[in-house]
């Protein structure tokens, strides 16, 4: 044991032999109680010795208060807010040179070299290098050792002076350093993490390049990422993805509010299917059958019947589909819109047009840093879109596919391959990756879709595509109750289970239409990602319900 470690009393040989002899005999309750008391007394002596040793160690290093683990007591909201001035790592820059700052971040990288230690701190995607240099009265050798022994991803508070090195710092986002005067650990991460954040942040391009040079880098596969999602979402790309997702939801809400829409919140527990088909999560609701809502469709239409005029919702949507594709989830975030129409369902498409052009403009103009963070790990080309969104009829789309030698059912839905091929053809002909395809065959649309006036084989409906994949389904709705019930029954839906929905149209309903958008799918396609699980914070698919 080194001289710096506290001396802990040990049992004397005679005492130890006595204890061993006693332990070989059956113990009475009295003897067991006596033994427990003896062990408790020994434990207290050991704890006192450790405490004494820590105190003596502190006395040995006059700088001991400038480093170490923050006691729990000091973390229990002991200090009132505003007592200390904090600086965000992202705001550390050259104008702060020679100023004393206090920052908090994660210890992303730790490196010691001779009488110097380097700790790179990360906060919300920004990083700064903190330097500890052994110096009398400033940084002691034990302080240096403490910093070098921190585990990666621990939460650390650093106080120090901002300095500006004479060279470009390529390893951090901030072009300044902090000359450390205090370093305290708020919360320690375990010494060995399930995945390394730096490994999870590597691009496939970087890994392949290393392989070509004879170096093997760790590749973190998707299942491992999702198993330890809390670590995975700390990467710069994921920080960018979910900030982009936040902005899409924000633009969606603000744009619609500016257009006179009202935000509503519909129930997710409903008595029957909202979309038709068998892909619902069924459950028991106080002894009655119920299911999770496949969309807010029925209730947002009922809100229109309640005279709100224009409504929208951002909320969870549940689909019990056994889809193992790159773009399907069992739970996703739906962006839903419903509105009265005066003359034509094109009025709904007009809203889609303006909304998404505003959304794309906002991301490109205001989120360049986040987009670049995503692009570094998952390279993609900026989305091509027109100032006025292209509109094609379903029949025109079918004809383009036929002209390209693709055989498709003229009255069936487009499969994934046909959608992608049509997206490619549209890009080549119209130079856009965002377009609307409308007037779909009625047979492939939900029961509440209004047929076309001139040909009931088709419907007043539309889909919207990004990079050859569908992100939106929309339509004019059937607002005539008897016709609505007839359509539902024809598609095998128990009309009784949606009777309150059908009845709402018996009280007088205006013509209306709307659409639904999958938030995760929009982010995936705008950022050119290959799997929707990358844009779901904690994905739910047929095989995953944790974490």
Label residue 40 by pLDDT band (50, 70, 90): low
The pLDDT value given to residue 492? 87
Q: Is 181 a catalytic residue?
A: no
Span 44-61, pLDDT tens digits: 665 554 444 444 444 589
Which pLDDT value is given to residue 498? 85
Task: Indicate which residue of 470, 479, 487, 520 is catalytic.
Answer: 470
Measure the CA–CA gap between 166 and 100, rounded to whole angstroms.
Answer: 20
**Whether pLDDT at 245 is above 80:** yes
Pairing of strands 282-285, 288-292: antiparallel
Q: Are strands 512-518 and 331-340 parallel, antiparallel or unpaired?
A: antiparallel
Condensed to tens digits (0 to 9), the pLDDT of residues 53-111 reads: 444 444 589 999 999 999 999 999 988 888 999 999 999 999 999 999 999 999 999 99
Which residue among the candidates 473, 479, 512, 536 is catalytic per the annotation? 473
Point out the catalytic residue in the list 512, 521, 533, 536: 521
Q: Say which range, 59-68, 155-164, 220-229, 425-434, has the weakest mean pLDDT.
A: 59-68
Residue 502 pLDDT greater than 70, yes or no = yes
Strand order in the sheet with 310-318: 262-263, 310-318, 331-340, 512-518, 469-476, 461-466, 434-438, 390-393
The span from the CA of 515 to the CA of 297, in Å, is: 9
What is the C-alpha to C-alpha distance for residues 384 and 235, in angstroms, rounded to an integer? 27
* Run of H or E including 392: strand 390-393
Phi, psi of 371 (to 5 degrees): -65, -40
Determine the pLDDT at residue 340: 98
pLDDT of 532 over the 90 cut? yes
The partner residues of 139 in beta bridges, in order of sequence, read 135
Contact call for residues 513 and 311 (beta carbons, < 8 A): no
Q: What count of residues does the chain have? A: 547
CB-neighbour burial class of residue 462 (10 A; exposed 0-12, middle 13-18, buried 19+): buried
Assess whether 477 carries a catalytic annotation. Answer: no
Catalytic site residue 14? no
Q: What is the pLDDT of residues 231-244, one digit of tens each?
A: 999 999 999 999 99
Sequence-ordered list of residues with C-beta below 8 angstroms from that of 453, at least 6 positions apart, any chain: none
Examine the pLDDT at 381 and tell me if it is beyond 80: yes
User: For the segment 275-293, what is each residue's pLDDT rounded down to a tens digit?
Assistant: 655 589 999 999 999 999 9
Q: Which of 328, 375, 391, 544 is catalytic?
A: 328
275 is catalytic: no
Average per-residue pLDDT in the chain?
90
Apex CA 81: angle with CA 77 and CA 86, to 5°?
110
Of 241, 235, 245, nearest in space to 122 by CA:
235
Active site residue 321: yes
Burial class (CB in 10 A: 0-12, 13-18, 19+), 133: middle
> Which pLDDT does position 180 carry in this prediction?
98
pLDDT digits (tens, 9 = 90+) for 156-167: 999 999 999 989
219 pLDDT exceeds 70? Answer: yes
pLDDT score, position 471: 96
> Among 122, 299, 327, 445, which one carries the catalytic annotation?
327
Q: Is 327 a catalytic residue?
A: yes
98 and 180 Cβ atoms separated by less than 8 Å: no
pLDDT band, very low/low/confident/very high, at 12 (cuts 50, 70, 90): very low
Catalytic hit among 35, 159, 321, 347: 321
Global confidence as pTM? 0.85
| Encoded tokens for 273 | 């299917």
Position 279 scores a pLDDT of 86
Confidence of residue 497 (pLDDT cuts 50, 70, 90): confident
Ramachandran category for residue 130: left, alpha or beta (phi over 0 → left; psi -120 to 50 → alpha): beta
What DSSP assignment string belongs to 124-174? TTEEEEEEEE-BTTTB-HHHHHHHHTPPTT-EEEEEEEEE--SS--SSSSS
49: left (phi over 0), alpha (psi -120 to 50) or beta: alpha
State mean pLDDT over 248-261: 98
Catalytic status, residue 44? no
Give me the pLDDT at residue 29, please. 59
pLDDT digit string (tens) for 292-350? 999 999 899 999 999 999 999 999 999 998 888 999 999 999 999 999 999 999 999 99
**pLDDT value of residue 79:** 84
């Amino acid at each position: 044991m080194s001289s710096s470690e506290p001396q802990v009393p040990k049992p004397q040989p005679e005492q130890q032999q006595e204890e061993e002899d006693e332990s070989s005999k059956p113990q009475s309750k009295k003897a067991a109680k006596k033994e427990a008391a003896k062990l408790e007394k020994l434990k207290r002596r050991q704890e006192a010795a450790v405490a004494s040793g820590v105190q003596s160690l502190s006395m040995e290093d006059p700088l001991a208060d400038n480093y170490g683990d923050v006691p729990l007591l000091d973390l229990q909201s002991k200090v009132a807010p505003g007592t200390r001035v904090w600086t965000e790592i992202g705001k550390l820059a050259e104008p702060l040179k020679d100023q004393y700052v206090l920052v908090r971040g994660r210890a992303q990288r730790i490196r010691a070299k001779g009488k110097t230690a380097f700790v790179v701190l990360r906060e919300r995607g920004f990083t700064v290098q903190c330097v500890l240099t052994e110096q009398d009265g400033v940084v002691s050798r034990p302080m240096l050792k403490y910093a070098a022994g921190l585990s990666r991803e621990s939460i650390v508070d650093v106080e120090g002076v901002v300095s500006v090195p004479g060279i470009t710092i390529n390893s951090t986002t901030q072009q300044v350093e902090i000359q450390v005067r205090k370093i305290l650990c708020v919360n320690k991460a375990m010494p060995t993490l399930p995945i390394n954040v730096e490994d999870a942040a590597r691009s496939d391009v970087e890994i392949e390049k290393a392989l070509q040079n004879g170096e093997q880098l760790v590749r973190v596969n998707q299942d491992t990422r999702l198993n330890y999602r809390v670590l995975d979402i700390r990467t710069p790309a994921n920080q960018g993805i979910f900030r982009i997702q936040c902005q899409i939801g924000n633009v969606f809400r603000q744009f619609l509010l500016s257009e006179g829409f009202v935000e509503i919140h519909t129930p997710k527990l409903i008595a029957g299917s909202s979309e038709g088909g068998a892909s619902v999560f069924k459950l028991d609701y106080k002894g009655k059958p119920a299911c999770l809502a496949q969309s807010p469709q029925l209730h947002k239409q009922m809100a229109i019947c309640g005279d709100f005029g224009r409504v929208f919702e951002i909320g969870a949507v549940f689909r019990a589909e056994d889809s193992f594709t790159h773009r399907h989830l069992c739970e996703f975030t739906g962006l839903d819109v419903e509105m009265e129409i005066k003359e034509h369902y094109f009025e709904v498409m007009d809203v889609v047009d303006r909304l998404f052009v505003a959304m794309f403009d906002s991301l490109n103009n205001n989120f360049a840093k986040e987009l670049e963070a995503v692009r570094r790990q998952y390279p993609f080309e900026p989305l091509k879109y027109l100032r006025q969104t292209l509109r094609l009829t379903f029949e025109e789309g079918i004809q383009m596919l036929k002209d390209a030698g693709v055989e498709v059912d003229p009255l069936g839905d487009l499969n994934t391959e046909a959608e992608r091929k049509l997206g490619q053809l549209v890009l080549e002909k119209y130079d856009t990756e965002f377009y609307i395809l409308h007037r779909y065959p009625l047979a492939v649309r939900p029961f509440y879709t209004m047929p076309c006036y001139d040909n009931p084989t088709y419907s007043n409906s539309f889909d919207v595509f990004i990079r050859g994949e569908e992100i939106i389904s929309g339509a004019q709705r059937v607002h005539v109750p008897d016709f609505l019930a007839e359509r539902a029954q024809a598609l095998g839906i128990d009309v009784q289970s949606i009777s309150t929905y059908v009845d709402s149209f018996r009280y007088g309903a205006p013509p209306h239409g709307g659409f639904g958008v999958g938030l995760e799918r929009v982010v995936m396609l705008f950022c050119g990602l290959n799997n929707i699980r990358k844009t779901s914070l904690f994905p739910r698919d047929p095989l995953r319900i944790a974490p």
